[in-house]
């Protein structure tokens, strides 16, 4: 092939872009199926006839979702927004503060402490969910908002990213200038450091928001009250009903589509930020 | 100077308080729990009491065929999944980085998008795409004369590997692509001037230069693989599935805790899983370190 490659550049260009296009088709096919399947009534969904206009009934699916169980789906949606929104905001602030401190200050045992943070990145988090559940039940917070919210405030990788961003975005002179003007250290962080690190803050926020929105194992272990479920757990509970009651299929499919939309929008509109995060993670 | 140390402490405290609460303490508590077991007192009428059992839960877990089989499942999964994932992501990144690729921004975004889909939803979408009657894929394969049962004993593992690939391939591709983009362009130009082909440059120059990223992805992929839970859980709810409720070690721990209320055994299983992760992380970083010495 390499001889043809050199002789016929058009052919190899077609091969490279063709291979990429095939990969894109593989990635997008399930999403396209999800969109078309969400518009189908139970009958045509179960007949596998997803890519035609037969049995188009999106509005019924949407009203079914809204009415099932007194609108519990939108309660789940609100819960997911709460867990992911509040969790990611607080987590990002904590990470940025720690990353800034690791980057801009010298203190004894700094690199050892940072090594501990890096070790935290390697801990398989699902192995912690069970002891966390037992601890939470001792404290009496199992099956509360707190039991899902507090564990997601910690992200060691976010601290690592924040340190990289702090080194990249905040020149030391900016802090020196603030100090000469007599600003206190914490004040300098909030008025100079944090604004300069805003792109890094958004990046950590985006990744943590996604991680919490997608979190399934922790809520599965912690929550039993349906009213506290995030979308992931709620849709899972619907899915377990589909065997005995096929009319749950359109609910799961349409509910999944609505659950995916905010993240797709976020990733399409914040491309610069997730690319920056993965770049900082890959190029050390 | 004093003020700076105080500021550093203040900025670090929230993170480390939470880090201790949700990572260090649960790890310690899991180890502690794994040393105890519930024992029926008397004839079983007086409820149960907690007694120290030393490594009893560990020998019980390791002596349980189901638990050991779970590690075999993981081994099979890793052997198929990791080469496909790392090789596939590298191939896509190199293609995208080549001078021939067009519409790079579009490709990058489109390949990355599955990462925006929650794992549980990805697993459910694929579950439906695997289910005969529901799936246009299965019926298309059927009319093409291919009869593949995605839930059969031989089909379950590839089915799960496919879901995981779909979720993570683009994500890892972007990491590799970012590392490739950071390579000093003058190095590549020099190689081109020397007459090296695009393929030669990719394998002899670009790949060695992004070794650190490859190592990182391999490490995270192994740690993620060991925690395999969501995808098989979903396939398990499919009827007549080859996937049992204790198919992977993580599922074993979950079932031990919440179906059998055997928290000691569940904790021991979790600790063994975490130890395996630590051991493999150590081996991977060591192996790559040795290659460094040779280079």
pLDDT single digits (tens) B50-65? 889 889 999 999 999 9
Shortest Cα distance from B213 to chain A (angstroms)? 5
SS3 for chain A, per residue?
CHHHHHHCHHHHHHHHHHHHHHHHHHHHHHHHHHHHHCCECHHHHHCCCCCCCCCECHHHHHHHHHHHHHCHHHHHHHHHHHHHHHHHHHHHHHHHHHHHHHHHCCCCCHHHHHHHHHHHHCCCCHHHHHHHHHHHHHHCCCCCHHHHHCHHHCCHHHHHHHHHHHHHHCCHHHHHHHHHCCCCHHHHHHHHHHHHCHHHHHHHHHHHHHHHHHCCHHHHHHCCCHHHCCHHHHHHHHHHHCCCCCCHHHHHHHHHHHHHHHHHHHHHHCHHHHHHHHHHHHCC
Question: Which of B18, B27, B100 has its CB closest to that of A153?
Answer: B18
**In the predicted structure, residue A9 carries a pLDDT above the cut 80:** no
Token digits of residue A36: 């078309």
Return the percentage of chain A with pLDDT > 70, whole number: 92
Do the chains contact at A2 and B115, CB–CB below 8 Å? no
Shortest Cα distance from A70 to chain B (angstroms)? 23
- CA gap B23, A135 in Å, rounded: 12
Q: Could you tell me which chain B residue has the CA closest to the CA of A217?
A: B230
- Can you tell me the mean pLDDT for B90-114? 91
Interface test with A, best of B128, B164, B226 (most A CBs within 10 A): B128
Do the chains contact at A189 and B7, CB–CB below 8 Å? yes
Confidence of residue A246 (pLDDT cuts 50, 70, 90): confident
- Can you tell me the mean pLDDT for B160-189? 92
- Can you tell me the mean pLDDT for B10-31? 95
- Cβ–Cβ pairs < 8 A, chains A and B: 267
- CA gap A104, A99 in Å, rounded: 9
Token digits of residue B110: 């489109």
Shortest Cα distance from A170 to chain B (angstroms)? 16
Do the chains contact at B101 and A20, CB–CB below 8 Å? yes
Provide, as residue numbers in chain A, all residues whose Cβ is less than 8 Å from the Cβ of B114: 27, 30-31
- CA gap A84, A77 in Å, rounded: 11
H or E element that contains B16 = helix B2-19
Do the chains contact at A271 and B133, CB–CB below 8 Å? no
Token digits of residue A179: 């100090």
Q: Are A142 and A220 in contact (CB under 8 A)?
A: no
SS3 state of residue B191? helix
Confidence of residue A2 (pLDDT cuts 50, 70, 90): very low
**In the predicted structure, residue B295 carries a pLDDT above the cut 60:** no
Do the chains contact at B22 and A30, CB–CB below 8 Å? no
Tokens 């404290």, residue located:
A139
Provide, as residue numbers in chain B, all residues whose Cβ is less than 8 Å from the Cβ of A161: none
Do the chains contact at A101 and B213, CB–CB below 8 Å? no
Q: Are B243 and B235 in contact (CB under 8 A)?
A: yes
- Can you tell me the mean pLDDT for A243-253? 86
| Domains of chain B from N-terminus onward | 76-243 (1.10.3720.10)
Do the chains contact at A107 and B5, CB–CB below 8 Å? yes
- Can you tell me the mean pLDDT for A239-249? 85
pTM recorded for the entire structure:
0.90
Between A220 and A176, where is the model more confident? A220
| Domains of chain A from N-terminus onward | 60-282 (1.10.3720.10)
- Can you tell me the mean pLDDT for A148-157? 95
Shortest Cα distance from B134 to chain A (angstroms)? 4
Supply the mean pLDDT for chain B: 88
Residue B294: the pLDDT is 43
Do the chains contact at B26 and A105, CB–CB below 8 Å? no
User: Which residues is B39 bridged to in the sheet?
Assistant: B49
Question: Which of B101, B126, B226 has its CB closest to that of A124?
Answer: B226
Do the chains contact at B98 and A46, CB–CB below 8 Å? no
- Rounded to 5 degrees, φ, ψ at B133 are 95, -45
**In the predicted structure, residue A203 carries a pLDDT above the cut 70:** yes
- CA gap A208, A93 in Å, rounded: 11
SS3 state of residue B37? strand
Shortest Cα distance from B251 to chain A (angstroms)? 10
Tokens 């169980």, residue located:
A69
Residue B29 CA, chain-centre distance (Å), reads 24
- Can you tell me the mean pLDDT for B191-207? 87
Cα angle, residue B254 at apex, residues B250 and B258 outer, rounded to 5°:
175
Residue B169: the pLDDT is 96
Residue A38: the pLDDT is 86
Provide, as residue numbers in chain B, all residues whose Cβ is less than 8 Å from the Cβ of A105: 4-5, 7-8
- Can you tell me the mean pLDDT for A149-177? 92
Q: Could you tell me which chain B residue has the CA closest to the CA of A96?
A: B11
SS3 state of residue B50? strand
Shortest Cα distance from A226 to chain B (angstroms)? 17
């Amino acid at each position: 092939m390499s001889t043809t490659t050199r002789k016929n550049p058009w052919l190899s260009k077609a091969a490279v872009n063709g291979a990429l296009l095939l990969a894109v088709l593989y990635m997008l096919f399930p999403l396209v199926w999800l969109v078309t399947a969400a518009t189908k009534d139970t009958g045509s969904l179960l007949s596998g006839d997803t890519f035609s206009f037969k049995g188009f009934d999106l509005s019924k699916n949407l009203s079914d979702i809204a009415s099932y169980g007194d609108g519990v789906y939108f309660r789940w949606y609100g819960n997911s927004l709460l867990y992911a929104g509040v969790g990611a905001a607080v987590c990002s602030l904590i990470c940025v503060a720690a990353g800034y401190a690791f980057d801009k200050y010298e203190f004894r045992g700094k690199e050892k402490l940072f090594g501990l943070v890096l070790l935290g990145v390697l801990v398989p988090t699902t192995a912690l969910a069970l002891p966390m559940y037992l601890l939470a039940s001792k404290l009496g917070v199992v099956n509360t908002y707190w039991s899902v919210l507090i564990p997601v405030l910690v992200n060691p990788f976010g601290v690592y990213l924040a340190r990289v961003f702090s080194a990249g975005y905040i020149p030391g002179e900016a802090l020196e200038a603030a100090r000469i003007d007599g600003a206190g250290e914490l004040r300098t962080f909030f008025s100079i450091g944090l604004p300069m690190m805003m792109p890094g803050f958004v990046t950590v926020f985006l990744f943590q928001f996604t991680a919490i929105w997608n979190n399934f194992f922790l809520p599965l272990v912690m929550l039993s009250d349906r009213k506290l479920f995030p979308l992931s757990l709620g849709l899972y509970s619907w899915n377990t009903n589909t065997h005995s009651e096929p009319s749950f299929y359109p609910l799961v499919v349409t509910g999944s589509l609505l659950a995916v939309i905010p993240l797709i929008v976020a990733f399409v509109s914040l491309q610069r930020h997730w690319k920056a995060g993965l770049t900082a993670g890959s190029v050390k | 100077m004093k003020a700076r140390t105080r500021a550093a402490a203040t900025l670090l405290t929230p993170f480390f308080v939470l880090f201790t609460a949700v990572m260090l303490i649960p790890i310690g508590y899991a180890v502690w729990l794994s040393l105890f077991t519930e024992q029926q007192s008397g004839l079983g009428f007086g409820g149960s009491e907690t007694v120290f059992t030393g490594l009893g839960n560990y020998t019980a877990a390791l002596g349980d065929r189901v638990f050991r089989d779970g590690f075999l499942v993981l081994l099979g999964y890793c052997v198929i999944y990791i080469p496909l994932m790392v090789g596939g992501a590298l191939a896509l990144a190199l293609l995208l980085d080549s001078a021939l690729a067009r519409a790079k921004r579009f490709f990058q975004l489109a390949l990355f998008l599955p990462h925006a889909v929650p794992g549980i939803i990805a697993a459910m979408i694929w579950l439906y795409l695997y289910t005969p009657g529901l799936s246009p894929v299965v019926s298309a394969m059927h009319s093409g004369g291919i009869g593949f049962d995605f839930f059969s004993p031989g089909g379950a593992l590839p089915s799960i590997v496919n879901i995981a690939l779909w979720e993570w391939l683009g994500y890892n591709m972007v990491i590799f692509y970012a590392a490739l983009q950071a390579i000093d362009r003058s190095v590549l130009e020099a190689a081109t001037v020397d007459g090296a082909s695009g393929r030669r440059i990719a394998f002899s120059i670009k790949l060695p230069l992004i070794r650190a990223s490859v190592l990182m992805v391999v490490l995270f992929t192994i740690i993620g693989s060991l925690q395999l839970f969501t995808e098989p859980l979903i396939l398990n709810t499919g009827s007549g599935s080859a996937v049992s409720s204790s198919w992977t070690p993580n599922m074993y721990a979950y079932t031990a805790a919440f179906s059998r209320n055997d928290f000691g055994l569940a904790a021991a299983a979790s600790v063994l899983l975490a130890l395996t992760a630590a051991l493999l992380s150590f081996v991977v970083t060591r192996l790559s370190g040795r290659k460094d010495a040779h280079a």
